[in-house]
Structure formats: C-alpha cells, structure tokens
Chain A
C-alpha cells in the first residue's frame, strides 16, 4: 500500500503477538490502515478479531507477554519500537484514548478534576492549580452539570455516562489529533450511548480531530463512521466508505456480519392459551439502611406495582435500561427474592410459598443468566453442571439414565455430547450460553426466564442462540420471559413487549404495535436511541 494522501496515522504490516503457555498467538497479522485528518474510521470486528490489540500495540499498551512489530507512523514519526519516554510525548497529547469501562478506567482514589489535570500538567507543564481553569472548561464542554462542584467528585459518585464524559474531557484536554475510542458505549444504556456518541460527533466537528472507533456494533458504525475497516482473526478483510460497505459489502464475512442482525418474528400464541404464570401488584423493596447505631432507614422500590400475565407458548419481552427493575421483576416472578403481590403458577396460588414450598416447582420455572462465564461453576464438568438439577428433582434416576438425558440435552442445544466431560473454560461464550440453556431444558420446564441471555455474545453468535431458543420454544411449548436492553433482539424473540422504567411499566403491547407505533415518549426515546443497521 502506498502512503495515502493526508493520512495522519499510517499503519503498515503491523503484527501483534502474544507468547502464551500454549505457544505464540498471533492476534494481529500484518495489517495496514490509514487514519485521515478529521475523519471517523470505524474498526469493526467480533471478539478476538484483534481490533483492540491493533490500537493497544500502536499505543504501547500491550500486556507484558505481547509484542508489536511492523510500522505505525504518526505524521511521519514511527511509533512502533519507540522508547516509552518518547512515546509518552505522543500519547495523551496527540493521540488519546477512551475505553469501554468508564468505571474501572478512572482511578477510584482520586477526584476526577485531578485526573483530568494530570495529562495537562504532564504535557503542558504548570501546576494542578493552574490547570483547574482548563479542567472546568473541559467539564463544561462535555456536558457535566455544575462543573465547579463536580470537579472534586470521585468516579464512584458519578453515573456511567458521566464517567465516560469525564474520560472524554481527559481525552480532549490537550486537543489531540486522533482520539481512539475503544468500545466507548458498550457498557452504557442505549439512551446514554446516543448522548455520548452525539457528544463525540459535535466535539469532532468543533475541534477537527480524527476518531478511531473500535466497536462490534454495526448500528453505531452506520450512523457514526465515515470509513470502515472490518477485521477478522487479526486481518482486515474489507475496508471502504461506510455507505459502500453497508450497501455493497464485498467480503463474505462482512455480508455475514450484516446479516447477523437478529431477524424473524415470533408468532403470538393461540388465542385462549392458558395463563401459565401471573404476577399482580408485584413490588420489590430494598431498605437503604444505615449501620447498627445510625440513622433512619429508607426504602427503594425496585419494582413498583407491576402486573404481568404469561400465556403458554408466549414470549414476553421486558425492555428497560439499567436500574429499570427488569431483572428484579424476573426474579420476583420466580419467587427468588422477597416481594409482595399475588403470584400464580398454572392454577396454583404461589404467593405465600417459601423456599421449601417452591422447590418442587423449580424444575418447571427455570432461569438463564446473562453472563455465561460467571453462571457456570468452573470446577464442574459440563455433564455435572447440566445434570445437577436432576439430582434434586429426579433423585431416583440411574447414572446411565442421567447420562442419556445429558446427551439428549446437549444434542438439543447443538453441542457435541462428547463435550460433557470437559470444563466450562474450554468453551466459547456462545457455547457456554448453550450449556446454560441445556441446564435449564434438561428439566423440561414450562417457563424459562431469560435474563439478557445474548448480551455478552457477538452478533453472529447471538443470532444462533436466538434461533436455538425459538426452536426449543416451538418444540416443547415453552413460555419465555425475555429480559433485555437490546431492542433488536427483543423484537426478534417476543410476541409481547413490556417497557419498564424506574420499576414501573411505561408501556406494553404486542411487539409490532410497540415497535411500529410507540405511544409513550420514553419508548420513543429508547427506539430513537437504538441504532439499527
């Protein structure tokens, strides 16, 4: 590749290697990229594509076992192999970064003002006191309310969106040429995501810096980027203008990614299908108490008077941002936490049921969690994990019979039955979620509550898991409550949607009605904030 015109960051033949106990792993395999003045370049790929490691390599931020070779020239200056001291002159002033987790990316022990001042003081000289004026300007610029008060706040005193604004303030402090944003909104709610992206866009217009956006989310790319580089397994498979890539993708992988957006619909259950699970006036309260000696305690209503009826074969999607009470509602319906209200399972009133009384019903009411890493015990084999419920609910089963059921369940979720003697860490995220689903379906439940089951997965894997869930539903007449913040997934999965905010139902109705003609302004905001491909 020849030097592109007005390229300010020219990457040529860049490789990133990691030496691991299993040998060398090539994360980035000699790629070329150009970042031009003032443009937004999106680097898109699924997990493990090397999109983040490319930038980490250029910025000298690889883990200790990583090495970078090749070339990355910033305005003619070679960055690869530059000694840390010289590199420090560039990073934080000419090229800055923001990261996915705004909570952990800021030092919890220092006020935000002090953290924003650090790159100013370091790169421009002066004292922290002198930098204060600039910090206040920056906080104002990124839309932090009451900057003079907030300057002394600690990261844990801010919301996720505000923390990301603080990171952006830090990134802008020295008026950079290039801002690298590594999944900047992945950890944020959709409405906050839209605000942060708008902010970045307007700041870019104002200051003219180039933005390198690393993301897995094609919706964001379409609305935000001028050019796109699609990465897969350490290589750039396609590069071009955003409109071209979306309208005329050339590489098969790009086509697959674009098609991986969840599609299809779920037909509503037959009319008059019996109600399988009902909750009336569901309320969950948490005491915000003080210690042994101190103060009055107050209560926080996480779920506040919700009514819900799930029919046999139905999927109710519960949509809402973090803190809306959607997960808490799911757990309350399963009687997994103290809550008030009336609950009915089939024809049984389960309102007053305690743990013991619920136990025989548990096999019919199953739960699948978001985090396929955290919800599988790392010390049990897959076979042990999925058959554990059988010990409780069908203790009389013989060993051979249990094994047969495990094989059947694994086949059902599309995993090799031979894998039942292996441990969870040997599986990918999507496979782990299949294991979690197998653990639920082996008990032949009637109701499965799916709490963000696809949120930790790559889009292409997400589509497969959704297919699987829909197949299982059809085959076994399952009823689902599908909790998610991801509207496109909810649209593909559910026939009825409930929109929640602050513990209450804002709006509910048939999926089509909600998506095509939302009535409430909050629902409209949510829909508007979700970028669709």
Chain B
C-alpha cells in the first residue's frame, strides 16, 4: 500500500511537468500579452515592464526561469494584480473556494446518491421519472442561470438568505452558492447511482441475499449499494478537483473571494503566471484526488489490490 502511494506520487512529477510545459507554451502562443492594453503603453514603459518580468528574453529562457522558480514554490508575480504574487493570490483565495467546494461536494454526493438510489428502487415509477427529469434540468441549466434565479427567489423575494458575499463566513452565506455549485454534479451523481444501482440490484448475489431472507434494507444498503458505489467513486476525483478549486461563474455571481475567478480573469488578461498557477493547482488537486479515490476503491473492492 505504501509503495503504491509512493509510486503514484512519483509518477505525479512527470505528469505535472507535462501539464506545466504544455500550458506554458499554449499560453504564450495565444495572441496578445499582459500589457497590450486598449490604450498602448509608452514604448519606454513597455520595455521596462518586459525587462522586469523577463518577457524580453527568448521563450525557452523564460520557460527555464519559470520552471526553476516553480520548483522552489515561486510561481512568479501576477502581471495584473501588482500587489500580490501568484502564490499569495492563490493562498488567499483557496480557503474560500475550498470551504464552499467542500460543502457543495458533500451536498452533491449525498444528495445524488440518495436520489439515484430512490430512483433505482422505484424504477420506472413516477418518482423515478421526477428525479431523473430534475436531474436532467440540473445538468442542462447552466449555473449562471441557477445562481441568479436562486438569488432572486431566496434573497430578493423571500429575503431568507444573503444575496452574495462571504460576510462573516457563517453558513447562511454559503447556502445559495453551494446549491448553485452542487446542482449539476448532484445530477450527475444521481444518474450514475441510478444506473449502477439498477445493475447491482439485478445481480445474482442480490438474488442470494433475498433468497436467504435478509431484510430489504440489508439487501439494498449492505449488498447492492456497496457495489453500486464503485462507478460513483470513480467520478468523485474529477468532481472533487473541480469543486474544490472554485468556479469562476459561481464565485462571480455571489461575489466570493475564491480562486475560481483567477483562471478566467488570468486567461482574459494574458496574466501568464496567474494562469499557470491555477493550472498547477488544479493539476495537483486532480492527481491527489485520483490517488485518494484509487485507495478508496481498493478499500471498497477487495478484488482491486494496491500492492
């Protein structure tokens, strides 16, 4: 098990290197640059800026500088947010995004699994139909629609919840963005669970469990659910990485000071270092969660051994 984890972590290094390399060059080949503003800067200022940020150097040198700094944890200065470097920006925003993402993840998994299980147990009933219709809506309606609608109903019309901001960090502020963030994922979990649960309920060993008079609760929860959760667990890794690293749309709508915005803003402004920082962050989250999920998978399914 330990050697499995170490091997996986070792293989994360080349993965990260490839991610960094590809995104570095992709970013640079995109037209424009961080200082190409609507009103052009005077040539002397431009030159100054280029020199300060090593942008006057050949591309491979810049790449070398970036890599050697990144290894030490220095992801460079942000070109747009002058007061902070990239590590500080991410360090400040990440706790907000992670807290929100964590609640959204719990809501998505718990809600999705319960809804999917109910739908599977009542296959082709009205309830099944209703749950699946709602989940289709959850997947298809984008959260820039869900967010404002939630705000309109619960913040403006009913005045139950705040419309946005982090406030004092109390849970009240989190509810609406959490729902907006979780809904599409909840719908995916519901569909996944329903499908694998229906399959699990038709297996021979479920027939055995029934033939031995086990109560339906035991049959469903102990035997069917555990097998049915395996595909659900596989989806957990990309989903957790996506939710915990913040969402540009949800954070913008609810004015939450997370890191989700940086990816979009960085890309629009050609803030090379900021984009690179968020790419590395997301890559690390994906790698770590994939590893965690594989370990979890091994615990759930004895046929998959990590040794």
Contact = CB atoms under 8 A, between A and B. Distances in A.
Interface of A: 59-61, 64, 84-85, 87-93, 96-97, 99, 101, 104-111, 118-119, 122-123, 154, 156, 167, 170, 293-294
A54 to B, nearest CB: 14
A60 B210 contact: yes
Contact of B223 (A90, A107, A167): A107
Contacts of A92: 211-214
A293 B213 contact: no
Contact of B227 (A109, A119, A156): A109
Nearest to B230: A109
Given A61-B207, A97-B211, 5 more contacts: A60-B210, A96-B211, A99-B208, A118-B212, A122-B213
A90 B216 CA distance: 15
A156 B301 CA distance: 11
Interface in B189-213: 203-205, 207-213
16 contacts: A84-B216, A89-B213, A90-B213, A91-B212, A96-B211, A96-B212, A99-B204, A105-B204, A106-B208, A108-B227, A109-B223, A110-B223, A119-B214, A122-B214, A122-B215, A294-B7
Interface in B218-238: 218, 223, 226-227
Nearest to B229: A109
A61 B211 contact: yes
Given A99-B208, A118-B218, A154-B302, A104 B213 contact: no
A167 B210 CA distance: 14
Contacts of A118: 209, 212, 214, 218
Main secondary structure on B side of the interface with A: helix
B300 interface: yes
Contacts of B214: 88, 92, 118-119, 122
B148 to A, nearest CB: 43
B91 to A, nearest CB: 34
Contact of A104 (B204, B209, B210, B302): B204
A18 to B, nearest CB: 15
B11 to A, nearest CB: 9
B298 to A, nearest CB: 12
A109 B215 contact: no
A321 B38 CA distance: 80
Nearest to A85: B215
A50 to B, nearest CB: 17
A154 B204 CA distance: 16
Contacts of B226: 109
B303 interface: yes
A93 B218 CA distance: 16
A107 B209 contact: yes
B96 to A, nearest CB: 38
A91 B215 contact: no
B125 to A, nearest CB: 11
Contacts of B223: 107, 109-110
Contacts of B3: 294
Given A154-B302, A293-B7, A107 B205 contact: yes
Interface of B: 3, 7, 123, 203-205, 207-216, 218, 223, 226-227, 300-303
A175 to B, nearest CB: 14
Q: Which one of A59, A93, A109, A294 has the greatest number of beta carbons of chain B within 10 Å?
A: A109
Contacts of B300: 109
B303 A108 contact: yes
Nearest to A290: B307
A219 to B, nearest CB: 25
A122 B212 contact: yes
Contacts of B203: 104
Nearest to B212: A92
Nearest to A122: B214
Contact of A122 (B208, B211, B218, B303): B218
The 6 A-B pairs with the shortest beta carbon distances in the complex, nearest first, are A92-B213, A92-B212, A88-B213, A104-B204, A107-B205, A119-B212
Nearest to B226: A109
A105 B3 CA distance: 34
A404 B297 CA distance: 55
Contacts of B210: 60-61, 91
A109 B223 CA distance: 8
Given A118-B218, A119-B213, A122-B213, A105 B205 contact: yes
Contacts of B218: 118, 122
A224 B60 CA distance: 81
A123 B214 CA distance: 8
A61 B210 CA distance: 7
Given A107-B223, A109-B301, A154-B302, A123 B213 contact: yes
Nearest to A89: B213
B303 A156 contact: yes
A183 to B, nearest CB: 12
A99 B207 contact: yes
Nearest to A64: B123
A156 B205 CA distance: 13
- Name which of B205, B208, B209, B227 has the most chain A CB atoms within 10 A of its CB: B208
A60 to B, nearest CB: 7
B213 A87 contact: yes
A105 B213 contact: no
A111 B209 CA distance: 14
A279 B40 CA distance: 82
A87 B204 CA distance: 19
Nearest to B211: A97
Contacts of A107: 205, 208-209, 223, 227
A64 B122 CA distance: 11
A63 to B, nearest CB: 8
A482 B27 CA distance: 64
A154 B7 CA distance: 26
Contacts of A109: 223, 226-227, 300-302
Nearest to B207: A61
Nearest to A60: B210
Contacts of B216: 84
B213 A154 contact: no
Nearest to A114: B222
Contacts of A294: 3, 7
A220 B54 CA distance: 85
A306 to B, nearest CB: 33
B77 to A, nearest CB: 39
Contacts of B7: 293-294
Contacts of B208: 97, 99, 105-107, 167, 170
A107 B303 CA distance: 11
Q: Which of A87, A89, A119 counts the most B-chain CB atoms under 10 A from its CB?
A: A119
A246 to B, nearest CB: 31
B225 to A, nearest CB: 10
A106 B205 CA distance: 5
A104 B199 CA distance: 13
A93 B123 CA distance: 30
Nearest to A157: B302
B211 A108 contact: no
Contacts of A59: 211
A268 to B, nearest CB: 45
A111 B301 CA distance: 11
A105 B212 contact: no
